[in-house]
Amino acid sequence: MFKAIVIEKQDDAQRVTIQSLDESRLPEGDVTVRVECSTLNYKDALAITGKGPVVRQFPMVPGIDLAGTVEASSADEFKPGDSVLLNGWGVGEGHWGGLAEKARLRSDWLIPLPSAFTASQAMAIGTAGYTAMLAVMALERQGLEPDHGEVLVTGASGGVGSYAIALLARLGYRVIAATGRPEEEAYLKGLGAQAILDRSELAEPGRPLAKERWAGAIDSVGSHTLANVLAGTRYGGCVAACGLAQGMDLPATVAPFILRGVTLAGIDSVMRPRADRLEAWRRLGELLDRAQLDTITRTIGLDEAIDTAEALLAGRVRGRVVVSMT
């Protein structure tokens, strides 16, 4: 038997509980993992609260991240005792996920737990930090360098934003952090932000082109915020888009693209090829200050995750939440 958060639906009413389940109920897969830690991401919070169409079949165990130890494997690549890590692949949406003490998964979804991190540290980073690293790599591929100018990070006090700031600062970029929580200024500057921008300056409808302000940006907000970020990007700059906290729409014009040569790079972390995942986690191991993980993260138990999901969507959670099964 193992404990898990289970999302059920009947007559359009969603019910979320912590249940003790028999291992025989685990879905198909060639690797069974004893989960040590998972996380609570924005997508997980949408799934648990039912406030977003994340779950594609019921019943569902949420949790798009997990780290743990292989208990059983019919795959050549993994054997019992191996430490493994998973981010994305539709887990927690169409396949039972990591907010449970056990998971059964496809081996090609897993990568070895990087030697640079413990399971808890890897989940402190989780999809948020991994996505932030992919976004930084996208900016680098477009030729962005620290001496080109400031880099804006929206949704700065969230998980992706926190790690984006820490990574960019470590690489020598001057970071502007956009947030609606002015009380977090000390936290954001502690991560490496050198200036704070009130998100209200970006959240409302703006002009097709604004004053050129930043050489690049990482946006996890979408909607009017992303449109205004694009409008304020300097000639030849790049914006990496990886979220939709404000909305899925993009009420923008083509002006930044055809008049300033701005590049909009989409960041998908769910179906990313294995080689990209390994490279992103290698870079995370090189760049992240382990002491910052404690600053960015707090740890809760599985029994606290349901209530914390509501707080996360309400904007009352800073940084990252690790869910420990131990």
Query: β-strands 83-87, 13-21: how paired?
Result: unpaired
Residue range 77-125, pLDDT digits in tens: 999 999 999 999 999 999 999 999 999 999 999 999 999 999 999 999 9
pLDDT of the residue at 108: 96
Domains in the chain, start-ordered, CATH in brackets? 2-113+291-324 (3.90.180.10), 127-266 (3.40.50.720)
pLDDT tens by residue, 135-151: 999 999 999 999 999 99
pLDDT in tens, 196-238: 999 999 999 999 999 999 999 999 999 999 999 999 999 999 9
Per the CB < 8 A criterion, the answer to whether 267 and 135 are in contact is yes
Paired sense of beta strands 175-179 and 195-198, if any:
parallel
Binned at pLDDT 50, 70 and 90, residue 294 comes out as confident
Bridge pairing between strands 83-87 and 65-73: antiparallel
Q: What φ, ψ does residue 95 adopt, rounded to 5°? A: -140, 140
Task: Give the residue from 185, 137, 136 showing the smallest Cα distance to 163.
Answer: 136
Work out the mean pLDDT of the chain and round it to a whole number.
96
Number of H helices, E strands in the chain: 10, 15
Joined together, the tokens standing for residue 65 give 């991240």
Rounded to two decimals, what is the model's pTM? 0.93
What was the pLDDT predicted at 139?
A: 98
| Residue 314 pLDDT greater than 90, yes or no | no
- The per-residue pLDDT for range 157-187, each reduced to its tens digit, is 999 999 999 999 999 999 999 999 999 999 9
Distance, first Cα to last Cα, the chain: 15
State the pLDDT confidence band at 7, using cuts at 50, 70 and 90: very high
For 23-38, how does the pLDDT look when each residue is reduced to its tens digit (9 = 90+)?
A: 999 999 999 999 999 9
Contacts of 201 (CB under 8 A, 6+ apart): 178, 228
Residue 132: name the closest of 44, 248, 243 by CA.
Answer: 243
For position 319, what pLDDT does the model report? 85
Instruction: Read off the pLDDT of residues 253-273 as tens digits, 9 standing for 90 and up.
Output: 999 999 999 999 999 999 999
